[in-house]
Amino acid sequence: MIEGLHEGNKTIDESKQGEVTLLDSTKGGNKKLYLESYGCQMNFSDSEVVASILSKEGYETVSQSSEADVVLLNTCSIRDNAEQRVRTRLKQFKNAKKERPNLVVGVLGCMAERLKKKLLDQEKLVDLVAGPDAYRDLPGLISEVEGGQKAVNVLLSREETYADISPVRLDKNGVTAFISIMRGCDNMCSFCVVPFTRGRERSRDPQSIVQEAKELYDNGYREVTLLGQNVDSYRWNMSSKGRIKDESKPTVNFAELLEMVAQVAPDLRIRFSTSHPKDMTDDVLHAMAKYDNICKYIHLPVQSGNTEMLKKMNRGYSREWYMNRIEAIHRIIPGCAISTDIITGFCGETDEQHNETISLMKEVKYDFAYMFKYSERPRTLAERKYEDDVPDEVKKARLQEIIQLQQQHSAESNKRQLGKTFEVLIEGVSKKSDDDLCGRNTHNTMVVFPKGDYQKGQYVKVKVTDCTSATLLGEVVDEEKVLTTA
Ligand code: 5AD
Ligand code: SF4
């Protein structure tokens, strides 16, 4: 657990920030694209869509920006420091353009949507700005720039889900992949910029989701993570008020979608992110309990342990409601791992209110948490309505306090696993040693073990013999290839 980046719906891997999308399948293109991605998993998943759209136009992805005709940065706006990081990078490309005036530099994603033409006019940092719903227009936008214009498309859509675009996979392990099941967010949490940068919530056709899962499985993938800002409000053929849109067709909610994907193959693991405490139904939990291949891990952001803060955050639940959801998880899926997101120092937060976050953490004992200090974002409800009045020093001290507590809880959680045997899906060679392999157990914890003759994509049973703060260490105890994923 880090005070790291994490956006909207999914954890952000700090080591992946600024990672370059490189795709073998695009080799041989006559134009060269350098695509760097920041922020959450949804952005990385979008970069796969962008690469797919541009590869059809003859673009080949390259690993060095110095080789590129077009440089695109897929960006994040969730906290101010995420934007600062991208700005620094953009200034470097602006300098590069002095020597290579034909280089096209573009900004995609949340910063593009938030700052729109400002990036072109006031800051003069880039040639092209494309918001998250405008990627189909990228070939046209690039041509405009090549014709000497600046190009912008930041139109948000109520329909775009890129359902028909088969993303070229960026996660090169060939074992785990992300499937975006919805876009946007209608929740309007008062601190959050996502509803402004990613627009209205819309769900993707379930058949296209199942089809994508099948194709991944046929290509050797063994784990899919279904992505959405609030997966529990996934709905197909149903309005937000529950009205059926087309009586002749079935409706699908998230619990039903989970079952549909779980049925693709018994040895295809399913994960999902992010759940919302106000919308997570027992039906979803029962679906998880029913299928061995749905991983027993839920990311359930709490944000604060104090009901008044939660109200100001416009989260739509109280502390009691949240705790009731935690109880439901334990009751329906015993042993399920739970992680969360927490914000310290939101507008007006008192010491007592902060202490309620601490007491909630002690009650729940999360296996993992992403923790942040509050960063005011332009246009949000909180920016307009409340004063950002907790001094930075206090925000930081509170953050340190919860990070330390969480470290204890994570270490305890890992120690409880000693001696247990887990099914692990092998993702590849361990980062630290070529003699070891690594993969996750159902709880999403990384497990490292000696290589033997095992291959990535295989399931093995690993007995845990030791642990570090974030990783379990063990050895394979069963020689047979295991076909279930519990
Ligand atoms: N400041 C700090 N953290 C934020 N998050 C979202 N917006 C902000 C903000 N303005 C955190 C929340 C959310 C996670 C994705 O990022 O905890 O769950
Ligand atoms: Fe998540 Fe709330 Fe932001 Fe939506 S508005 S992305 S639910 S934090």
11, 79, 278, 339: which to mutate for ligand 1, most atoms within 8 A of CB? Answer: 79
State how far the Cα of 51 lies from the Cα of 60, in Å rounded to an integer.
Answer: 9
Question: How far away, in angstroms, is 301 Cα from ligand 1 center?
Answer: 10
Taking the centre of ligand 2 as the mean of its atom positions, its distance from the CA of residue 189, in whole angstroms, is 6
pTM of full prediction above 0.85: yes
Mutation pick for ligand 1 pocket among 192, 342, 390 (CB with most ligand atoms within 8 Å): 192
Nearest atom, ligand 2, residue 8 CA = 6
The secondary structure of 257-321 as a DSSP string is: HHHHHHTT-TTSEEEEE---TTT--HHHHHHHHH-TTB-SEEE---B-S-HHHHHHTT-S--HHH
> For residue 91, how far is its CA from the centre of ligand 2 (angstroms)?
30
What's the CA-to-centroid distance between 198 and ligand 1, angstroms?
A: 15
For atom 1 of ligand 2, the residue with the nearest CA is: 8
**Closest residue CA from atom 7 of ligand 1:** 192
pLDDT at 480 over 60: no
pLDDT of residue 124: 83
Return the pLDDT at 484.
43
User: E strands of 374-444, at which residues?
Assistant: 421-429, 436-440
Ligand 1 within 6 A of 162 CB?
no
Arithmetic mean of pLDDT over the chain: 92
Q: Which protein residue has the closest C-alpha to ligand 2 atom 6?
A: 8
Whether the bond into 274 is cis, omega within 30 of 0: yes
Ligand 2 pocket residues where CB is under 6 Å: 8, 185, 187-189, 192, 194-195, 229-230, 276
Ligand whose nearest atom lies closest to the CA of 197: 2
Instruction: Give the number of whichever ligand sits closest to the CA of residue 380.
Output: 1
Task: Please name the residues in contact with 100: beta carbons below 8 A apart, sequence gap of 6 or more.
Answer: none
Taking residues 420-444, report their average pLDDT: 96
Length of the chain: 486
Assess whether pLDDT exceeds 70 at residue 4.
no
pLDDT above 90 coverage of the chain, percent: 85
pLDDT of residue 102: 93
pLDDT of residue 9: 34
186 CA: nearest ligand 2 atom: 4
From atom 17 of ligand 1, which residue's Cα is the shortest distance away? 341
Provide the pLDDT for residue 259: 98
Q: Rounded CA gap, 214 and 260, in Å?
A: 11
pLDDT digits (tens, 9 = 90+) for 108-124: 999 999 999 998 887 78
CB atoms within 10 A of CB 404: 10
The answer on pLDDT for 477 being more than 70 is yes
Q: What confidence score (pLDDT) does residue 300 get?
A: 98
Span from the CA of 126 to the centroid of ligand 1 (angstroms): 27
- 203-220 average pLDDT score: 96
Instruction: For residues 176-181, give the mean pLDDT.
Output: 96
Model confidence at 292: pLDDT above 90: yes
Residue 171's pLDDT is what?
Answer: 60
Q: Collapsing DSSP states into helix, strand and coil, what is residue 194?
A: helix
CB of 79 within 6 A of ligand 1: the answer is yes
Distance (angstroms) between ligand 1 centre and the Cα of 5 equals 9
pLDDT in tens, 296-315: 999 999 999 999 999 999 99
Whether the CB of 315 sits within 6 Å of ligand 1: no
Dump pLDDT digits (tens) for 50-96: 999 999 999 999 999 999 999 999 999 999 999 999 999 999 999 99
Give which of 247, 258, 249, 160 is closest to 202, Cα–Cα: 160
